[in-house]
């Protein structure tokens, strides 16, 4: 999913990245001074990303919004700029800069896993995401089998992990009053015929 951008040996500033990214026709993540081009996804990835955004969108309480992968998230403490597959924002969005294309305060982030990004999404990327003060929920959706990993931030600052995989299983997010049926989430993605 990621490949080095056209500046593999040149470190960029955040300002240089944003100037290049806003003029580009494709999306790139930014970390440690380097741009990483994002490649296209599979049918299952696209269906799952769209489906989770729709499911969340109709269940979220007033004042919360489910956003697709077009909106960039900045992880201020680590300098990571990324495009999660779905982001939920509750309350007034906090933007970096005047262009309103970079969000700072996600409450929930969803990543649809692919073989090339799974280790990164579970490891270094989640480690970076955990530094976002507003982030309370993190979902990892497997695109090859019915399986969702759910991390939920606890009152003591630790993260609780739950796995969901049965055909009758669902992911419950009490702080958002949301229940995601795995049967509804996976119907189209795993059975495209």
- Quick one: 56 and 67 in the same domain? yes
pLDDT of residue 95: 96
- Quick one: 130 and 115 in the same domain? yes
Closest CA to 35 of 73, 15, 74, 8: 8
Number of structural domains found in the chain: 2
Mean pLDDT of 12-19: 90
- Quick one: 78 and 162 in the same domain? yes
Mean pLDDT is lowest, of 31-35, 42-46, 153-157, 188-192, for: 188-192
pLDDT of residue 190: 63
What is this structure's pTM? 0.90
pLDDT of residue 115: 87
Residue 31 sits in which domain range?
Answer: 1-40
- Do 150 and 164 form a contact (C-beta atoms < 8 A)? yes
- Quick one: 2 and 61 in the same domain? no
pLDDT digit string, tens, across residues 129-188? 999 999 999 999 999 999 999 999 999 999 999 999 988 999 999 999 999 999 999 985
- Quick one: 87 and 171 in the same domain? yes
- Quick one: 92 and 160 in the same domain? yes
- Quick one: 46 and 63 in the same domain? yes
- Residues near 125 by beta carbon (within 8 Å), at least 6 away in sequence: 80, 82, 111
- Quick one: 84 and 179 in the same domain? yes
pLDDT above 90 for 59: yes
Mean pLDDT is lowest, of 6-10, 45-49, 69-73, for: 6-10
- Quick one: 20 and 93 in the same domain? no
- Quick one: 35 and 19 in the same domain? yes
- Quick one: 48 and 19 in the same domain? no
More confident residue, 37 or 111: 111
pLDDT above 90 for 69: yes
pLDDT digit string, tens, across residues 82-139? 999 999 999 999 999 889 999 999 999 999 998 888 999 999 999 999 999 999 999 9
* CATH code of the domain covering residue 101: 3.90.1570.10
pLDDT of residue 9: 66
- Quick one: 29 and 50 in the same domain? no
Closest CA to 41 of 189, 182, 193: 189
Query: How far is Cα 105 from Cα 4, in angstroms, rounded to an integer?
Result: 27
pLDDT of residue 5: 39
- Residues near 56 by beta carbon (within 8 Å), at least 6 away in sequence: 66, 86, 88, 108, 110, 176, 178, 180
């Amino acid at each position: 999913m990621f490949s080095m951008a056209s500046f593999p040996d040149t470190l960029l500033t955040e300002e240089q990245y944003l100037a290049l990214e806003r003029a580009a026709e494709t999306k790139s993540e930014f970390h440690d001074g380097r741009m990483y081009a994002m490649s296209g996804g599979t049918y299952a990835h696209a269906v799952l990303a769209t489906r989770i955004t729709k499911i969340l969108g109709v269940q979220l309480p007033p004042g919360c919004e489910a956003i697709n992968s077009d909106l960039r998230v900045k992880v201020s403490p680590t300098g990571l700029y990324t495009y999660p597959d779905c982001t939920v924002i509750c309350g007034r969005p906090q933007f970096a800069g005047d262009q309103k294309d970079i969000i700072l305060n996600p409450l929930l982030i969803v990543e649809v896993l692919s073989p090339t990004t799974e280790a990164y999404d579970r490891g270094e990327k989640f480690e970076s995401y955990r530094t976002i003060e507003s982030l309370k929920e993190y979902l990892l959706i497997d695109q090859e089998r019915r399986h969702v990993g759910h991390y939920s931030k606890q009152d003591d600052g630790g993260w609780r992990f739950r796995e969901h995989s049965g055909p009758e299983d669902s992911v419950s997010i009490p702080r958002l009053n949301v229940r995601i049926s795995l049967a509804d989430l996976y119907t189209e993605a795993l059975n495209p015929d």
